[in-house]
Amino acid sequence: MTTVQTAPIAGQKPGTSGLRKKTPVFMGRHYLENFVQSIFDVVGARHADGAGKTFVLGGDGRYFNDRAAQVILRMAAANGAARVIVGQGAILSTPAASHLIRLNQTDGGIIMSASHNPGGPQEDFGVKFNMPNGGPAPEGVTEAMFQRTVEITEYRILEAHDVDLSRIGRHELGGMIVDVVDPVSDYAALMESLFDFAALRAMFAGGFRMRMDSMCAVTGPYAVQILESRLGAAKGTVINATPLPDFGGMHPDPNPTWAKALMDEMFGPDAPDFGAASDGDGDRNMVVGRGIYVSPSDSLAVLAANAHLAPGYKAGLKGVARSMPTSAAADRVADALGIARYETPTGWKFFGNLLDAGRATICGEESFGTGSDHVREKDGLWAILLWLNILAVRKQSVADILKDHWAKYGRNYYSRHDFEAIATDRADAMFAALRASLAGLPGRQIEGMTVSAADDFAYTDPVDGSVSTKQGVRVMFSDGSRIVYRLSGTGTEGATLRVYLERYAAGPDGLDLDAQVALAPVIRAAHALAGITAHTGRSEPEVIT
Ligand code: G16
């Protein structure tokens, strides 16, 4: 065991979901080690009685995943951990890691991922810690880790050969047990416990066609095992199914911009019945019907309204939670069901307390994340399987299910516009001006709408009372429209401005417009109120979802 002298490295502050940086930064001298030591310093590798703790370790397989895993294992051993459960090849999807943490009642886990960000020698890498409940560390814990990074003077590491992570079974590393497990089997069993696999098998046997784009990222082996092997979807249903260190050059972010090939197929002449994609680490999902895109906010609402059709949710939902920028479509479902609803800041970690306390069963975000209390992360394949289960029971197309939904609840037209890699000082200046203008906005007329309220979202956790401020600037209009401005907390280059746009149509008319057309006045108002072009030099977003 070696104790290595080190010094603080600036900028190791975890963002929305862990520490994400360019890979060369993470590969820099002491960078990974400083952060991992800070994790162990905060959470402890031993219990109070001195017994070593057990952790889960895995990642999305991106470039540096394998090397980082060996470093983390040697540091876990040197810090006194008793056992680490590792996915074979150091691979685990984020929801599968969350499940393993819970299933084995471990003391938490380290997940190596930069999620939907591209991977490769010049792209992104990330590390985050998940708590014993399987969920991302809350802000109080990540802040403590950050504080350790600014005062760190040494880290502990074992000098040892690599553990052969390709071989499933028990290994030993300096007295610590390393259990290498199949990344897929426990997760697949969990899915089988929640959904009616017999009904899904019958649907596929009856000719139902699906396309699943795993984007050369971690869900490939999971999707092939579950969809093709267990459910009988045609061989080749899953494309880009082999995880690659650079995701085959793809940007593994399942949205209409980056999963364009899937969109083209689903809107093409021989489109299958159902299309889906997932991201780098398998927690996000995009769902597309034949000729119709399902916005994540609508997906959450449809899943909440129909979840009882799947065996795992037949008792109904306790509550539904959504992040603040997510549309209010799910709120309408919760109100109709007479169950609780919650509005949290962006970041899956904010759902953890609600799920643990049994207040919410299903959660979701506009950023292509949906999940339930089966794990403490959002879960791409879970959402896709719940959609399939609903389709199998209702025997309708995705388009018809959406139309029925809007007819019943009205439609929350929704879109997000992203302006990427803006100079940080310009983005900060825009927000300073915007915040300063908030008090004067109520009553203002713009684009035929009247501002009814404007604020900077703050959240008080109803379970532990913790308060999170400055979580996004909201401008609400008297007709139910809304604009939200936020800076992304997951980017690694400059600032990414996210503008979230929403407008409600009660129906029965005007429910089938193109979202960008329906939102045009809200988009114009968003530009005018924040002076986006004047501040950032951009008039058009890079990504529209
Ligand atoms: C993470 C968080 C999500 C969040 C998303 C986008 O997802 O877990 O809760 O909605 O980032 O965050 P931001 O708008 O700050 O970029 P993932 O899939 O990247 O882990």
Domain ranges of the chain: 2-181, 187-409, 411-544
Residue 218 has pLDDT above 90, yes or no: yes
Which mutation among 351, 366, 377, 490 tests ligand 1's pocket best, with the greatest number of atoms within 8 A of CB? 490
Closest residue by CA, ligand 1 atom 4: 347
2-181: CATH topology: Alpha-D-Glucose-1,6-Bisphosphate; Chain A, domain 3 (3.40.120)
Question: Mean pLDDT throughout 441-455?
Answer: 94
The pLDDT tens digits of the residues spanning 273-296 come to: 999 999 999 999 999 999 999 999
In order, the DSSP letters of 348-366 are GGGGHHHHHTTS-SEEEET
Confidence (pLDDT) at 365: 97
Ligand 1 atom nearest to 496, measured from its CA: 16
Separation CA 14–CA 137 (nearest Å): 10
Confidence (pLDDT) at 491: 73
Which mutation among 346, 417, 471, 488 tests ligand 1's pocket best, with the greatest number of atoms within 8 A of CB? 346
Catalytic residues: 115
pLDDT band, residue 16 (cuts 50/70/90): confident
Question: Mean pLDDT throughout 467-490?
Answer: 92
Question: Mean pLDDT throughout 396-420?
Answer: 96
Question: Mean pLDDT throughout 20-44?
Answer: 97
Ligand 1 atom nearest to 114, measured from its CA: 19
Domains 2-181 and 187-409 share a fold: yes
Strands (DSSP E) found in 311-410: 319-323, 340-344, 362-365, 369-372
The first and second tokens of residue 498, run together, are 């996210």
Ligand 1 centroid to Cα of residue 492, in Å, is: 13
Ligand 1 centroid to Cα of residue 347, in Å, is: 6
Which CATH code is given to the segment(s) 411-544? 3.30.310.50
The pLDDT tens digits of the residues spanning 91-105 come to: 999 999 999 999 999
Residue 43 has pLDDT above 90, yes or no: yes
Residue among 65, 184, 212 at smallest CA distance from 125: 65
Phi, psi of 286 (to 5 degrees): -125, 140
Q: 267, 298 in Cβ contact below 8 A?
A: no
Ligand 1 centroid to Cα of residue 16, in Å, is: 6
User: Residues 501, 506, 509, 514: what is their CA dihedral angle, to the nearest 10 degrees?
Assistant: 20
Least confident of 234-238, 498-502, 530-534: 530-534
Ligand 1 centroid to Cα of residue 18, in Å, is: 10
Ligand 1 centroid to Cα of residue 282, in Å, is: 13
pLDDT band, residue 484 (cuts 50/70/90): very high
Q: 472, 457 in Cβ contact below 8 A?
A: yes
Ligand 1 atom nearest to 18, measured from its CA: 20
Residues touching ligand 1 (Cβ under 6 Å) are 16-17, 115-116, 283-284, 323, 346-348, 365, 367, 369, 488-490, 498
Ligand 1 centroid to Cα of residue 220, in Å, is: 21
Separation CA 466–CA 137 (nearest Å): 14
Confidence (pLDDT) at 421: 87
The pLDDT tens digits of the residues spanning 317-347 come to: 999 999 999 999 999 999 999 999 999 999 9
Closest residue by CA, ligand 1 atom 2: 347
Please state, rounded to an integer, the average pLDDT across all residues of the chain.
95
Q: How far is CA 505 from CA 308, 438, 446, in A?
A: 26, 26, 19
Which mutation among 215, 367, 468, 500 tests ligand 1's pocket best, with the greatest number of atoms within 8 A of CB? 367
H-run or E-run covering 92:
none
Ligand 1 centroid to Cα of residue 209, in Å, is: 30
pLDDT band, residue 15 (cuts 50/70/90): confident
Closest residue by CA, ligand 1 atom 3: 347
Confidence (pLDDT) at 355: 97
Confidence (pLDDT) at 489: 79
Amino acid making up residue 419: F
The angle, 0 to 180 degrees and rounded to 10, between the axes of the packed helices 296-306 and 329-337 is 10
CATH 3.20.20.30 fits 187-409, yes or no: no
Calculate what percentage of the chain has a pLDDT beyond 70: 100
The first and second tokens of residue 182, run together, are 């199949």
Separation CA 125–CA 60 (nearest Å): 10
Residue 33 has pLDDT above 80, yes or no: yes
Ligand 1 centroid to Cα of residue 135, in Å, is: 14
Ligand 1 atom nearest to 490, measured from its CA: 16
